[in-house]
A and B are shown apart, each in its own frame.
Chain A
Amino acid sequence: MFLKLTFLLFTLFVFTAFSFAKDNDTITAQHKPPVREEEVIVTSQKTNRVNQSLMGVEKLNMKIVNKLPVVFGERDIIKMLTLLPGVKTGTSGLSVRGGSVDQNLILLDKAVIYNSDHLLGFFSTFNSDAVKDVTLYKGPAPAQYGGRLASVIDVQTKNGNNEKFHVKGGLGLISSRLSIEGQIQKGKSSFFISGRRTYADLFLKLSKEFKNNVLYFYDLNGKFNYKFSDKNEFFISAYYGLDKLGLNDALKTNNFGIKWRNIALSARFKHIFHQKLFSNTSFTYSNYNYKINIENPTLQIDILSHIRDLSIRHETEYMPNNQNHWHIGIHLTWHKNNPGQITGHNIQSIKNLRNGIETAIYAANEWKLNNKIKINYGLRLTDYLVLGGSNYYTFDTNKEITDTINRPGIIKHYFNIEPRISVNYKLLPEATFKFSYTRNTQHVHLLSNSIATSPTDRWIMNSNIVRPEISDQLSVGYTQNFWHGIIELSIEAYYKWMKNQVDYADSANDKDLFIERQLRFGRGRAYGIEFLLKKIYGKFTGWIAYTFSITERKIQGVNDNLWYFARQNRPQDVTIVLLYELSKRWNISGLWTFKSGYSVTFPTGKYEIAGQTVWQYSHRNANKMPDIHRLDLSLNYITKATKKFKSEISISIYNVYARENASLIRFEQSKSNPNKTIAIQIALGKIIPSLTWNFTLF
């Protein structure tokens, strides 16, 4: 395999050298005239969906994002994505088309982000002030993307404004943010910096019961770009985010702290050979780590886990004529992972750092066959190398270690072919029919055994025991515009087969130092249909999204080897979003959402052991939580803008009719009548108002 790799690298090197040599063209590359970024997206939106040859793609309009009602005054990109059909909130992240929360490839300027949430999902990792655009692929992504089964969320940050200097920010009740952008050398280089911090814990200090609790996060985004010439441009972007959560009960006998950190760095060099040929070479670095500290009478431990990626990607785009647009590239990632190191009172720590290399080469073409048919086709070849130099184990059915493997070189490799094809057929000028088939593979896996983001979630990679996850997705769709593009209707249906899905065994010990012996493997299937009706123009805009979807798993040794609903199974999902421009200065927006409760396992009976009530369970996830629905409203006022200053005040109310939407249900004996068993529902947040003041200095 190393030979193949060397050959690939050599070819790449030669190709690049050859490309540089060819760079004698004096034709200057075409550039778009400098426009404000938001405008570009709005205008291209009009005919975007109908003409796109890719299915299941959503491009977020940042202008709309900034008008929607929000919790805590934060415009949250990840939350906005959940308002689209097919995207739901999972336990700690997004579930796209029935996938689990680790099956989304979240990219920030092409660097991978492992945790898309701050603070258990109340805020997302992305400061919307720093974001230029977000594209979501709900499955059929072109061959340039790979490594996750369910979706690609491609976030691009803003380049600094290379003409002027701007300051922008917002002050809110619970969080605040500030961005500065400007030019360093006029027309040549610019920068963008933004930061954000929440101070929710200041409110907790007011409460006697919670004053020992710590709750904050902050994040920083930076971008720098330098234009060497009309043909060469260099970009570098950086992200740093830190979350800290500490819960200590009033007696300080039960302490729990969790700290997690995301770092992403991306350096990209763009070279334009000529109008028809250009390339991008990027180096990215991601580092996600967390540390948990638990202290109570039965357990005093620290759990550390991290995953770190270093990657290089080279892609060439070639447009020989108007009918073809090729993307050809190679992508190599070196993963370093510590799945979980435990230290503590009386516990020996085992540090088992593992290494793996994910390699991919791809070629994809957007081919305009004729005026009616567009085909996106491509092939991605991936090979995952499990590298030695640390311990790998094999286990028997009693979970005892039967063999320890530790040798240098490649322990095992997994080769996969991922074909991608997407066909777009224009039935009528305003109506298109689409079809696609995609295969994706995934080499990093998140093990989760809990109800919400929990200390014991751990990232692991492929090994001698864990194989790459594979999914095949078939989808069909129909889109039609009405009233000259003002109203858009789209319907998509999909079926997804998944292999090598990982789950914990029944009664697994999720703190096991040898975690692989607690895992079981099997298949998954997900299918559904999504409807989206959008009005894009006018004083009154918005959309209605409806999704019906089912997602199931069948894991060896779990639930008697029968199919069961995955936790994130929520068959019905309705979202209605409305924005209305009352006047130039005032606008209001509202959103209403209804979702089926997620699948859960409730007890079928009870009995006593050692004087305690113990719950009897039968099939996994055979029940569901109560359905949830809520209404959010927001009122925005734009103050009179001067040449130098512009501001906006935004009042939001989350959950206007204060419905108690269940997030957890537990069973216990009633305090007033200890012989009676009752069910208690815990609802997250009743009515939450928030106030934010956003400003821009020119």
Chain B
Amino acid sequence: MKKYLILLYTGICLAACEKEINIKLPPEQSKFVIEGWLNSDSNSVKITRSVPLSVSNENYPTISDARVSITDKTLEKSYKLQAIQVKSIYNTNSLKGMNGHTYILQVQIGNEHFNAQSTIPDKTIDIDSITYRLSFTLGRDQNKNNEKPIRLTVYYHAPVTPANYFQFIIRRNNKTEKGIFTRHDENFTKEVKNFNFNLSVTANDIIEVEMQNIDKKVYEYFTDVTNNIKQNSAAPTNPVSNFGNNVLGYFKAYSISKKSIVITNL
């Protein structure tokens, strides 16, 4: 929306301007940031802190001495996670996420305790097929590097109810596309469903689509994050985390389906 406002302002004034400014910001209140996820193959918990805007993005502090564990509520079994390979990323090989189970991630840093709960949906939903076609363009057909814009469509099927929530990871030649891609099918009326994505590709690219079936709270969290990044709201707030108010971040337990295609004729 902001983009459209900018377009409008520029248009009507023929002279709107953007410039970088120095601005006084409210005092900083650093909070812990926990990104935890769990699926049937692997798991990972990353712990850092928020920093003032003036700090470089390279310098997010890492927390390597936290005590992290995941409990399978359904089985009533706990697993400890350790940071072995990378200082701020904790994981365990003994835990494989199972459909329908509810998991609780517990993190203790110093004297503070944080926990969040997430449930893997009952049934794994698989990607049925992926198709693509060239997008309509006006003016330039290709940007630099011979890339062309396409519309990618991902098909799957599921009963009309209950609603499903997804997060997609799209990789182009093993490199993850930047962005957060969330979708839901709450109002879909048929069993065969699809979602569309915009991409720029060149011939022979390998596109891998990873469809993560997440729970509703995590979906809402990522929708909040997308709105947060866009800065469209008149009254922005922190995304509602399943950890509660005292810490930033999320815990996502999900089932996963992957499929790849190769871009041939463009």
Contacts and interface: CB of A to CB of B under 8 A. Distances in A.
Given A210-B11, A606-B50, A674-B57, A449 B6 contact: no
Interface string A62-88: 000000000000000000000000000
Candidate in A249, A617, A665 with the most chain B CB atoms within 10 angstroms? A617
Interface in A675-691: 675-688
Contacts of A683: 16-19
Contacts of B237: 506-507, 601, 617, 620
B60 to A, nearest CB: 6
Contacts of A251: 135-139, 149
Interface in B1-58: 1-31, 33, 35, 48-54, 56-58
Contacts, number: 241
Secondary structure dominating the interface of A: loop
Interface stretch (B103-111, B122-130, B184-192, B256-264): B184-192
B161 interface: no
Interface in B95-144: 135-140
Contacts of B4: 247, 254, 256
A53 interface: no
Contacts of A611: 176, 178
A685 B107 CA distance: 51
Interface string B192-229: 01001110000000000000000000001011110011
Nearest to A455: B1
Given A455-B1, A605-B52, A613-B229, A665 B23 contact: yes
Contacts of A670: 20
B180 interface: yes
A615 interface: yes
Contacts of B31: 605, 607, 616
B248 A616 contact: yes
Contacts of A684: 9, 13, 16
A686 B49 contact: no
B236 A607 contact: no
Given A204-B11, A681-B21, A347 B187 contact: yes
Interface in A333-356: 346-348
Given A254-B3, A680-B20, A504 B225 contact: no
A346 B189 contact: yes
Nearest to A662: B21
A251 B234 CA distance: 28
B14 A608 contact: no
Interface in A528-566: 558
Contacts of B20: 670, 678-681
Candidate in A204, A212, A451, A614 with the most chain B CB atoms within 10 angstroms? A614
Interface string A487-527: 00000000000000001101101000000000000000000
B63 interface: no
B178 A687 contact: no
Nearest to B167: A610
Interface string A286-313: 0000000000011000000000000000
Candidate in B17, B48, B53, B140 with the most chain A CB atoms within 10 angstroms? B53
Contacts of B231: 615, 666-667
B32 to A, nearest CB: 9
B14 to A, nearest CB: 7
- The interface size bin for chain A is 35 or more
A682 B149 contact: no
Interface string B233-259: 111111110000000111000000000
A610 B180 contact: yes
Given A249-B7, A607-B48, A664-B2, A602 B25 contact: yes
Given A210-B11, A675-B58, A677-B53, A682 B138 contact: no
A528 to B, nearest CB: 22
Given A664-B5, A679-B23, A687 B234 contact: no
Given A507-B237, A607-B50, A215 B28 contact: no
A619 B26 CA distance: 9
B151 interface: yes
A200 B12 contact: yes
- The interface size bin for chain B is 35 or more
Interface stretch (A183-191, A468-476, A621-629, A644-652): A621-629
A253 B23 CA distance: 34
Given A251-B138, A348-B189, A448 B234 contact: yes
Contact of B11 (A215, A614, A664, A681): A215
Contacts of A620: 235, 237
Contacts of A509: 223
B48 A449 contact: no
A444 B44 CA distance: 50
B2 A666 contact: yes
Given A297-B198, A451-B2, A675-B58, A686 B15 contact: yes
A252 interface: yes
A208 B140 CA distance: 11
B232 interface: yes
A58 interface: no
Contact of B235 (A122, A253, A504): A504
Contacts of A602: 23, 25-26
A64 to B, nearest CB: 26
A660 interface: yes
Given A250-B139, A253-B135, 17 more contacts: A204-B11, A215-B12, A346-B187, A601-B235, A605-B50, A607-B49, A609-B225, A612-B225, A613-B57, A616-B29, A622-B26, A674-B57, A677-B53, A682-B6, A686-B13, A686-B15, A686-B17
Interface of A: 91, 119-120, 122, 200, 203-204, 207-208, 210, 212-213, 215, 245, 247, 249-254, 256, 297-298, 346-348, 448-452, 454-455, 503-504, 506-507, 509, 558, 567, 601-623, 626, 660, 662-667, 669-670, 674-688
The 10 closest A-B pairs by CB, nearest first: A685-B13, A607-B50, A675-B57, A605-B50, A506-B237, A675-B56, A607-B33, A297-B198, A686-B15, A677-B53
